[in-house]
Amino acid sequence: MASLTCPQLDESADVVVVGGGITGCAIAYRLASEGFGAVVLDKRQLYTQASNSNAGNIHQQIIPGSVFEKNGWPWVETFAKTISYNVEAGQEWVNLGEQLDVDIDFKMVGGIVVAETAEDMAMLERKISLERRYGGTSEMVDAAQLRALAPYVSERCVGGSFCAEEGRANPHKAVAALARAARGKGAKFLSGVEVADVRDDVMGGQVVVTDSGAIRARHVVFACGAESDTLLKRIGYQLNNPRRAIQTMVTEAVSPFMHRLFYHARRRITMKQVANGNVIIGGGWPAQHGTQEDYTRTLSESISGAAAIAQDVVPRVGDLSLLRAWASVIAQPVDGLPVVGRVPGKENCWVVIPNNNGFTLAPVLSRMIVEMLQEKRSSSDPSLFDPARAAVAMT
Amino acid sequence: MKKHTFNRIEGSGTWVTIQLDGESLPAVQGEPLAVAILCHSTDALRTSAHSCSPRSPYCLIGSCFECLATVDGRANVQTCLIEVCAGMRVNRQAGKREFG
């Protein structure tokens, strides 16, 4: 056994969760709530990667803009199947703060998509009818309705769409609250512990071999976001799951003027004003990602590109100073669907990799995986997210 | 001159006059504006954008954003990063800035 070669971490658990981001923390919270002993391992500090650098949006709709241009409609038609899961997640977020007894700055503010041309409007109509098939609730708005919802938009905006069931939360408060609640129910969190291997235990279950010793567990759940490929490779699975470095930026705080999430039908921009008054500007602009795992750098052309569109469609944003830009690395499954389920051929190993809606979906994906490892029937169909489609066993 | 926690070295440079909320105060041409403000008074310079708690210049190297003020009509200027010029009009801020 591993204990012969490395010092024993004095731990055993029903479930070891690898990865202490929002997904891992949400899983630990669910497990602990149902009476399972959970131990969360993170090779760094808890929630310091994508969970710490995302904008905290709770999306329902397909974020338009460059997604369509880059991937085309067939891809979007597959991606649209996640809408029903987003809808479910939105309902969970409504109650999450109260459930955790913490103010996580959650607000169902709704999301506006602006259109500048007739082509933009036609595209939105097509997008909305696709989303409606999966429970989406967006509606088209004309120029007057748009200005009633968002008086600050540029004169060139001819209309757009509005989805009332979208919101925002403070991502830092939300993930910390989940971890605290999990801890309160008995879950343990160990940071600075890196997983090297997971072996079948002769006694049944799994032995998680780490750089600080081994932990026995009945189940192991991998919830390591962009680093899932690296981790799953260690147990013999190669995932076809690229990662992508994107960047976000924030302006100085200003009196509230933008109350909803803001998107553009065609151009690469997302905006929202957070509770502190700062405006967060994103849209998936590329950042630089070095060969070294932790190395990211913001790109000045992405900063100026996002800033130019932002002030073009919301002129008063041009009056605000930018404070900071930051990069993060996200997992981006090729087909846009999360990966949730049993690692193929590994009875007690599970994996959860979100798509680019990791923050939104954490309450739903965590519930799905906890139901699956108890062999419970899930209320959300997990077959769509089957890991087998993305994983190839290495020989 | 009245003595405060912050005092300039004698013979620092050319004295000019700036305005803080309409009050005239002496400052040395070219010194960081935050320094001129601290030498005048260590009372709170602003209240914060979110909690409206009192704030004053802190790091003096452009990192902390505590020294924000409205300078010549422009809000949220980091006063530690700009130099004093004769006739500068500085206003204390309360909470979040407004659109100009």
Q: What is the CATH number of the domain that holds A205?
A: 3.50.50.60
Residue A382's pLDDT is 84
Q: Are residues A278 and A340 in the same domain?
A: no
What 3-state DSSP class applies to A184? Answer: helix
Which of B49, B65, B100 minimises the CB distance to A277?
A: B49
pLDDT for A140 equals 98
Are A26 and A122 part of one and the same domain? no
* Neighbouring-strand partners of residue A289: A296
Token pair of B90 as six digits: 């500085």
- Look-up: residue for tokens 């305005």? B19
Domain range for A302 is 57-169+243-331
Scan residues 14-43 of B and list those with Cβ closer than 8 Å to A. none
A334-376, pLDDT tens digit by residue? 888 999 999 988 889 999 999 989 999 999 999 999 999 998 8
Quick one: A142 and A115 in the same domain?
Answer: yes
Measured between CA atoms, the residue of chain B closest to residue A319 is B99
Together in a domain, A369 and A310:
no
CB contact under 8 A, B96 and A316: no
Residues A234 and A350 grouped into a single domain: yes
Q: Are B37 and B20 in contact (CB under 8 A)?
A: yes
pLDDT tier at A378, thresholds 50, 70, 90? confident
How would residue A12 be classed by pLDDT, with cut points 50, 70 and 90?
Answer: confident
Judge contact between B92 and B46, C-beta under 8 A: yes
pLDDT of A66 above 70:
no
Q: Across the interface, do B99 and A255 touch by the CB < 8 Å criterion?
A: yes
Average pLDDT of span A260-268: 95
A179 plus A295 within the same structural domain = no
**At residue A105, does pLDDT exceed 80?**
yes
Q: How far apart are CA A167 and CA A107, in angstroms?
A: 5
For A164-209, the pLDDT digits (tens) are 999 999 999 999 999 999 999 999 999 999 999 999 988 888 999 9
Min distance A316 CA to chain B CA atoms (Å): 8
DSSP annotation of A275: T
**Residues A275, A382: one domain?**
no
Q: Nearest 5 degrees, angle CA A117-CA A118-CA A123?
A: 100
**What element of type H or E holds A393?**
strand A391-393
Using alpha carbons only, give the angle B57, B58, B61 rounded to the nearest 5 degrees. 95
**Cα Rg, chain A, nearest whole Å:** 21
Given this model, what pLDDT does residue A5 score? Answer: 42
Q: Which range (A58-62, A133-137, A225-229, B59-63) has the least confidence? A: A225-229
The CA-atom distances, in angstroms, between A121 and each of A263, A310, A334, A353 are 13, 19, 28, 33
Q: Does B50 touch chain A (CB under 8 A)?
A: yes
Alpha-carbon distance of B56 to B42, in angstroms, equals 7
State residue A7's pLDDT score.
Answer: 46
User: Is residue A65 domain-shared with residue A158, that is, in the same domain?
Assistant: yes
| Phi (first) and psi of residue A253, to 5 degrees | -75, 140
> Could you tell me if A183 and A127 lie in one domain?
no
Among A331, A353, A368, the domain boundary falls at A331
Domain boundary among A316, A331, A346: A331
Residue A30 carries which side chain, given as an amino acid letter? Answer: R
Q: Mean pLDDT check: name the lowest of A84-88, B10-14, B29-33.
A: B10-14
| DSSP reduced 3-state for A344 | coil
Whether residue A4 lies inside any domain: the answer is no
| Domain match, A85 and A228 both | no
Mean pLDDT of A288-314: 91
Averaged pLDDT, B14-39? 96
Positive/negative CA dihedral, A30, A31, A34, A37: negative
Q: pLDDT by residue (tens digit) across A141-159?
A: 999 999 999 999 999 999 9
ipTM for the predicted complex comes to: 0.81
| Whether pLDDT at A90 is above 90 | yes
Structural domain tally of chain A? 2
Smallest CA–CA distance, residue B40 to chain A, in Å, is 27
Domain of residue A311, CATH code: 3.30.9.10
Instruction: Give the pLDDT of residue B36.
Output: 95
The Cβ of residue B35 has, within 10 Å, a number of other Cβ atoms equal to 21
Q: SS3 of A154, please?
A: coil
In a domain, A2, yes or no: no
Report the SS3 class of residue A78: helix
Report the pLDDT value the prediction gives residue A10, as an integer from 0 to 100: 61
Q: Which chain A residues are within 8 Å of B100, Cβ to Cβ?
A: 319
Q: What confidence score (pLDDT) does residue A339 get?
A: 94
pLDDT over 90 at A388, yes or no: no
- In sign, the C-alpha dihedral spanning A157, A161, A162, A166 is negative
CA distances in angstroms from A295 to A22, A42, A233, A287, A356, listed in the order given: 21, 18, 21, 11, 20
* Judgement on whether residues A158 and A279 belong to the same structural domain of the protein: yes
Single-letter code of the amino acid located at A38: A
Contact flag B98-A254 (C-beta cutoff 8 Å): yes
In a domain, A23, yes or no: yes
Q: In this prediction, what percent of chain A has a pLDDT beyond 70?
A: 95
Domain boundary among A301, A331, A361: A331
Which pLDDT value is given to residue A3?
38
Instruction: Tell me, yes or no, whether A261 and A309 share the same domain.
Output: yes
Mean pLDDT of chain B: 92
Is the residue at A277 inside a domain? yes
Asked whether residue B3 carries a pLDDT value surpassing 70, the answer given is no
